[in-house]
Structure 1
Amino acid sequence: MNAVPEALPRTAGELRAAGYTPRPIAREIHDNLLAALREGREAWPGIVGFSRTVLPQLERALLAGHDVVLLGERGQGKTRLLRTLAGLLDEWTPVIEGAELGEHPLQPITPASIRRAAELGDDLPVAWRHRSERYTEKLATPDTSVGDLIGDVDPVKVAEGRSLGDPETIHFGLVPRAHRGIVALNELPDLAERIQVALLNVMEERDIQVRGYTLRLPLDVLLVATANPEDYTNRGRIITPLKDRFGAEIRTHYPLDVAAEVAVVRQEAELVAEVGEPLLEVLARFVRNLRESTVIDQRSGVSARFAVAAAETVAAAALRRSALTGERPAVARPVDLDAVPAVLRGKVEFEPGEEGREVEHLVHLLRRAVAETARERFAGLDLRPLSDAVADGHLVATGERVPGSEVLAALPELPVLHEVAQRAGVSADEPAGRIAAAVELALESLFLARRLAKDTDDTTTVYGE
């Protein structure tokens, strides 16, 4: 966050003279989104795979000024998408300095601020709030109370001598404190139904009720939420009046193609070693196979975080080998994929009856992903010279203690190896580890096509006839 610009007005009088008239939050987002669309600016940084599906729907909802609920399985980027909404707010907005809520200096709403504005007039001090401070997020856990969201009577203020009917005895909750901002409720169905009722007035009448009396506060908030469709449609955990008050219900989805899945992994994963594009494609196809498998509980979904964690695991395996062998740089190879099923089997839910076979299913789907990736990468390429060389006694050993140079040294000089590397996006003058990763992918594809044998022990894999 940058420092507040010195040229901005510091009193209500200066603000009025500069033409800063109050603008509703929905109108502010409407204007800024419309400007971004007209100028061709990126309104949704970091959002991958939604450009033709989710984003047009969301943009229409925001231009209409609607509160929004995003429906989707876990790991589809719902929260990430909501957080980008803050970028559609003005960078700086004026608020009454010292006020409990973020009230506009020319439009106070609480009794205390109205009184201060009347007493100070044009000398009412103005502070400036950055747009990042106007986005409020709450995980809707079952123990969330009305006091957390809306507010409650503050016993300290009552003890100071105020009566219970005095509006100034209220300690405001999260929603009023987000006045002139965005409130995001994650996993909305997890809110108890009696707590959901407390949001009804906020969303429609824009006032709040605390302990039996009503405060007519013209709250100005954009309410957005996320929900799992299973909870939302089948268990009915969002009460009907609340569903009715959301102007837009938008379904999210997992990446629709391999390229989008790879882009998500590239963007989100913190890789401690090089993981080439072919291996990322393997992991992307692996995740897509999981989402289509009948042995996986598709109601819980297979999160995009699974692919990210898988890529990070493969990179970690490569870094470990680099430390053991001294090879530099650390480059992931297909042998590192063996670490994925055992480490990540707890991140997916299996159908009943599959107990004890989880790793077996994961290994099968991972091998299928390797075969699909190799088939696409090496389409039209004759790998017979490579299989013949191995059959003639050039056995290739690989594993967690085998550097890439040894993998390449086990094979004779073959023109097909240069073509394999080229298909994998590697040139002949690159480090041995990168070339070895491409060669291993070709060897594994020959094994999966039953044109080579493979023997594996705890640390070493040998390709042979």
Structure 2
Amino acid sequence: MTSGLPTTAGELRAAGHRPRGVKAEIRENLLAALREGRDPWPGIVGFDRTVLPQLERALLAGHDVVLLGERGQGKTRLLRTLVGLLDEWTPVIAGAELGEHPLDPITPESKRRAAELGDELPVAWRHRDERFAEKLATPDTSVGDLVGDVDPVKVAQGRSLGDPETIHYGLLPRSHRGVIAVNELPDLAERIQVALLNVMEERDIQIRGYTLRLPLDVLLVATANPEDYTNRGRIITPLKDRFGAEIRTHYPLEIGAEIDLVRQEAELVAEVGDHLLEVIARFVRHLRESSSIDQRSGVSARFAVAAAETVAASALRRSALTGERPAIARPVDLESVPEVLRGKLEFEAGEEGREQEVLTHLLRRSVADTARAAFAGLDLRPLAEVVSNGHPVATGERVRAGDLLGALPEVPVLHEVAARLGAGPKDPAGRIASAVELALESLYLTRRLAKDSDDDRSVYG
């Protein structure tokens, strides 16, 4: 990929290459993407009109950024997309410990090599994926991890203790000419946060009193949970002041965005129709609005993804038990969500013992809302009359789609129900049965049908 590119500092200079700061590089690449109509943020859903415009302004201004938001709002995913705004390949001094530009060395060793070799200084090319570093801020993180420390091995090799070349560089210097992301910044001990002050303002580092000053070129981005300011820790005031932009993230504001996010992120082992993903999206929305759920903890987007994967797994299990192919999810598979994922939620103290009841109630509301939207204007009374007058319909984890449909006589409304959810006469029986079952569940929730359930079987009648 790098064949034909300059291999020495002299060739690089002759090609007209000039050193450029990482923030200027990101600014120019972002502007090019905006002018050409390319999406600079692939895979980011639901932030188009809120978070992304603010982030773009911050990057164009050359600001370091901290993203504030509850868990599971895609903060880390968003920061990782910054890699796409870097040049695909950038020149570095071959063999140097840091990613220094061949025409602008900053360490004593690289400066000495550049003076000795001149235009023959060897050049290597680094891919942009290697210019992004990520650090999870944990309480045991040390200044040495971030900035650097004296390397006893180098001292033992005969160098004097005052020699700057005895330093082992930390993560920040090694991110020179790149992007470094610090996740959960408030978890970093306050004395360690102090070590970042010089990096963000003076753009240099000092290690254990050494006179060595490295003019670092980095974009520092961080994430934090707003509750962390008073819960586990806080961002110290001088450090907050040095961030040029503080941007609030959020959960998807629209049901469609939540569905798109789940469809993008979930690894589904069976077919899950859009109407079931809509139920899950509405369920998550109700959870985020419920007074029974601790909203300070939030309901992560990972919950919706895990719910969709659980529904798909339930369909795959039913397929194995019944021999039905292909595996297609039906509303009955939604019943597994509260039982499996209850532990991913934090409930308010007064709700102890009612967790299952709360989740079941909100899931039924979500099914009713989805069915009301899907079947708006469609008269389901003929279906209710058929079931009530001697054609009970059974469903469950051991009931095949064909058996569910075979329990019903030919009724025109069934074709309309299937068509509303995108299922045609030639589609697999599981796809049609999923639509019909949603209509039956809707009739039960609106009290136009009864439903008797035992361990693994429910009968509408």
TM-score grouping bracket, smaller chain normalisation: over 0.9
Instruction: Report what 2:350 is aligned to.
Output: 353
Give the unaligned 5+ runs of structure 1.
Answer: none
Q: Which amino acid aligns with 2:357?
A: E
Equivalent residues, number: 461
Instruction: Report what 1:177 is aligned to.
Output: 174
Q: After TM superposition, give the deviation of residue 234 of structure 1 in Å.
A: 6.9
Q: Which amino acid aligns with 1:52?
A: R
Deviations 1:133-182 (A, max 9, x none): 00000100111110100000000111112222211111000000000000
Q: Aligned to 1:232, which of 216, 229, 234?
A: 229
Q: Aligned to 2:155, which of 153, 158, 182?
A: 158
Q: Structure 1: how far apart are the matches of 2:41 and 2:341?
A: 30
SS in 2 for 1:94: strand
Q: Structure 1: how far apart are the matches of 2:160 and 2:300?
A: 51
SS in 2 for 1:137: strand
Q: Structure 2: how far apart are the matches of 1:311 and 1:150?
A: 42
- 1:19 and 2:22 matched: no
Q: Aligned to 1:147, which of 144, 148, 151?
A: 144
Indicate how the Cα distance of structure 1 residues 253 and 202 shifts in structure 2: closer, same or farther if over 3 A, else same.
Answer: same
Q: Which amino acid aligns with 2:303?
A: F
SS in 1 for 2:351: coil
| Superposition TM-score, scaled by structure 2 size | 0.99
8 Å contact 2:205–2:215 — kept in the other structure? no
Give the unaligned 5+ runs of structure 2.
Answer: none
SS in 2 for 1:209: coil
Q: Structure 1: how far apart are the matches of 2:125 and 2:458?
A: 63
Aligned counterparts, 1:51-450, within 5 A: 51-232=48-229, 237-450=234-447
Deviations 1:182-234 (A, max 9, x none): 00000000000000000000000111121122421110000000000111367
Q: After TM superposition, give the deviation of residue 413 of structure 1 in Å.
A: 0.4
Deviations 1:415-446 (A, max 9, x none): 00011001111112101000000000000000
Q: After TM superposition, give the deviation of residue 235 of structure 1 in Å.
A: 6.7
8 Å contact 1:28–1:90 — kept in the other structure? yes
Q: Structure 1: how far apart are the matches of 2:119 and 2:46?
A: 49
Q: Structure 2: how far apart are the matches of 1:453 and 1:212?
A: 78
Q: Structure 2: how far apart are the matches of 1:242 and 1:235?
A: 17
Q: Which runs of 4+ in 1 moved over 4 A?
A: 233-236
Q: Structure 1: how far apart are the matches of 2:212 and 2:57?
A: 32
8 Å contact 1:207–1:215 — kept in the other structure? no
SS in 2 for 1:95: strand
Q: Structure 2: how far apart are the matches of 1:30 and 1:183?
A: 16
Q: Structure 2: how far apart are the matches of 1:388 and 1:340?
A: 31
8 Å contact 1:386–1:414 — kept in the other structure? yes
8 Å contact 1:207–1:214 — kept in the other structure? no
Q: Which amino acid aligns with 2:279?
A: V
Q: Structure 1: how far apart are the matches of 2:165 and 2:240?
A: 32
- 1:30 and 2:27 matched: yes
Deviations 1:231-265 (A, max 9, x none): 13677610000000000000000000100000000
SS in 2 for 1:157: helix
Q: After TM superposition, give the deviation of residue 447 of structure 1 in Å.
A: 0.5
Q: Structure 2: how far apart are the matches of 1:417 and 1:82?
A: 47
Q: 323-332 or 280-289: which moved more?
A: 323-332
Q: Which amino acid aligns with 1:57?
A: Q
Q: Structure 2: how far apart are the matches of 1:287 and 1:8?
A: 51
- 1:9 and 2:6 matched: yes
